[in-house]
Chain A
Amino acid sequence: MLHVKDLSKTIEHRDIITGIDFQWHPGEIVGLVGRNGVGKTTLFRTMTNQYVADKGTVTIDEHDLKQEPAYQRQLFFIDTQYNFLGNYRLAELPDFYRLVYADFDADRYRDLLQRFNLTASDQYRQLSKGMRALVNVILALTSNAPYILLDEPFDGLDVIVRENIATMVIDEVADQQKGFLISSHDLNELDGLSDRVLLLKASRLVHDYNLEDVRAQAKKLQLVFAGKEIPAIVKKHSRLIRVSGRVLVVVFPDYTPELAEQLQALDPVLMEELPLTLEDLFRANLSQTAGYQLMQ
């Protein structure tokens, strides 16, 4: 188990991440979401010792990575913004990775390059953004590290490649030997992948969602009321996702049978349940207000 305990990092007198605390097991695909600049990449960089943490620890099976750095080889991360790969051809990259990751699978690396029509003699820096992201994922998978951090892995990839990667990630966790922590703005992609989502807000980890539990508790409804006024109970218990004329799309984070009865009692013109997506949760939790102020 990987345990991030009370991890904090200040840059230029600003708290970028504060008191981050979570556990992560092999076999889990955890999503990390948050608005731009909230500290997702800083969290990854601090977890992997690129940034020296001001406070807190990262342990793998109770081994502190600072005291026993060899355990860091169980954690894989390629910084998408700053990495050394640009100077090398794709065929040369295993020379480095097999010296660090004892179980690096060079044959599979070659096979995956071929499968995605990547030429081994191409230089990494000459690749498009999407192709580079693909190579990063291939290196991550073939490293065979049990904990893999992927920072915006779907950024710049076309739909087919995205689907391929998502399938590979799901296949990898099937035997419970590997876990993924994936930061992404593409919430739709995470929706199909993650079992669990960590939500970063204002430098802190504000929610650790088990998506199954959340879906059991929350509801997304499309509502139309006869009057122009939005009922107080809706304002109080829900977050506005979208409004079009009198049609409201709202998320009730804690939808109870009592609340359902109260809504029915208002005699809405339309009350229809919609599938709840991760994006809805993201919007509902990250917007500063419930959204109704915009309508005033």
Chain B
Amino acid sequence: MDKNLRRLLWRQYRKRFWSLGLISLLIMALSAWADTTTWLYHSKTTVFGPQMHQWLAFDATKLRFGSFSLYSPWLMFAFGLAGLVLMNQDLKDHFNQFLFTSGYRRRQIYWTKLTLGLGGLLGIAVVTTAIQYLIYWLQMPASVTLDLAWPGLITTWLMGLTTSIGFFAICWFAALIIGQTGALWVTLAGFILSLVGIISVNVPGFNLLTAQQGQWTEIGAWIVATIILAVWGAWLYQRLSLEHDGEYLLFPGLRWPVYLVFVIYVTVIFSGGFHVTTAGIIALLVTVIFGYLWLWRPKLTWHRTKN
């Protein structure tokens, strides 16, 4: 990777990274301190215990000691937010114009930006988590024993990081194909909330797996999804033409695929799978009409007469 390109991108993004780092530090430190106020203990209390000796992510709901986090959910949000801002802001601030005329290959710009973004975020995750752990350690009474084992810690971090990077990839990709900031936020919020709902309620086949198999399958799924989105994003970035700046879709060729995914996805959610239900039929009709109006923006007759 070109050193000058990395310096150029860092020059543009550094304020954003420092801001996100400081906000993360503040939030993580405050939430760590808030956690310590919930701790209930007596002499010879052991925190964690057997669950950390398995290759399973730490489950805070099973802890009687009080609130404790080994990988803060804030970091998942921070990764997603950074993915969105890194891609969308370059479009909004017209930094893409400069990058595309800068003499660097689009592919090179894309991967440098991606690795710089993820590198910065990993740094933020490590530093802020270290501060969080430090606060826990300083507030931990001498009578309490921490039974922290590598299998649980590694799985927790793997699960946390793959989920965070997955959110980053989803937001990054969405910001690459959607050219309107407000609509991007609404689209992403709708997609992520529904996705979280689906994962937590019912993923077909997941109930056949043990907890351990389920978690490792989820880690694998996040990695595969991240790779697909990152590589697909690189392919699209190469073809990004800025005359569509400000339109909902920056790639008119994606109109039909987005339309079909939107209609099928929302219909399946409302029909509770692939069953024929009244809610499903209504969802199908609404998404077919709304999706068409939103993506094609046809000029309606009453608009023309008004003009």
Contact = CB atoms under 8 A, between A and B. Distances in A.
A99 B11 contact: yes
A8 to B, nearest CB: 13
Contact of A83 (B5, B97, B239, B243): B97
A82 B11 contact: no
Given A51-B241, A82-B245, A100 B94 contact: no
B8 A50 contact: no
Contact of B8 (A45, A83, A96): A96
B256 interface: no
Interface residues of B, number: 24
Contacts of A73: 102-103
A71 B104 CA distance: 9
Nearest to B93: A84
B98 interface: yes
A59 to B, nearest CB: 14
A96 B103 contact: no
A96 B11 contact: yes
A99 B8 contact: yes
Residue of A51, A72, A77, A84 ringed by the most chain B CB atoms within 10 A: A84
B97 A79 contact: yes
Interface string A174-195: 0000000000000000000000
Interface in A78-107: 79, 82-84, 86-87, 95-96, 99-100
Contacts of A72: 101-103
Interface in B1-24: 4-5, 7-8, 11-12
Interface in B209-249: 239-243, 245
Interface in A212-268: none
Interface string A45-83: 100111110000000000000000111110101010011
Contacts of A71: 103
B93 A50 contact: no
B95 interface: yes
B243 A11 contact: yes
Contact of A69 (B103, B240, B241, B243): B103
B105 interface: yes
B133 interface: no
B100 interface: yes
A106 B7 CA distance: 17
Contact of B241 (A52, A77, A96): A52
Given A45-B242, A51-B242, A52-B241, A84 B98 contact: yes
10 contacts: A48-B101, A50-B97, A51-B243, A52-B240, A69-B105, A72-B103, A77-B101, A82-B245, A83-B94, A96-B8
A52 B239 contact: yes
Given A9-B243, A72-B103, 17 more contacts: A50-B101, A50-B241, A51-B242, A52-B239, A70-B104, A73-B102, A73-B103, A82-B94, A82-B97, A82-B245, A83-B94, A84-B93, A84-B98, A96-B8, A99-B4, A99-B7, A100-B102
Contacts of A48: 100-101
Nearest to B245: A82
A29 to B, nearest CB: 21
Given A96-B8, A100-B8, A83 B101 contact: no
A9 B241 CA distance: 11
Contacts of A9: 243
B100 A49 contact: yes
A49 B239 contact: no
Contacts of A77: 101
Contacts of A45: 242-243
Residue of B8, B240, B243 ringed by the most chain A CB atoms within 10 A: B243
Q: Which 4 pairs show the lowest CB-CB distances between chains A and B?
A: A73-B103, A52-B241, A72-B103, A82-B94
A77 B242 CA distance: 15
Contacts of A69: 103-105
Contacts of A87: 93
A86 B98 CA distance: 13
A99 B4 CA distance: 6
Contacts of A86: 93
A42 B242 CA distance: 11
A173 to B, nearest CB: 22
Nearest to B244: A11
A71 B100 CA distance: 12
Nearest to A49: B100
A189 to B, nearest CB: 25
Contacts of A96: 8, 11-12, 98
A11 B241 CA distance: 10
Interface in A95-144: 95-96, 99-100
B239 to A, nearest CB: 6
B103 A84 contact: no
A49 B101 contact: yes
B103 A100 contact: yes
Interface string B85-99: 000000001111110
B157 to A, nearest CB: 35
Residue of B5, B94, B240 ringed by the most chain A CB atoms within 10 A: B94
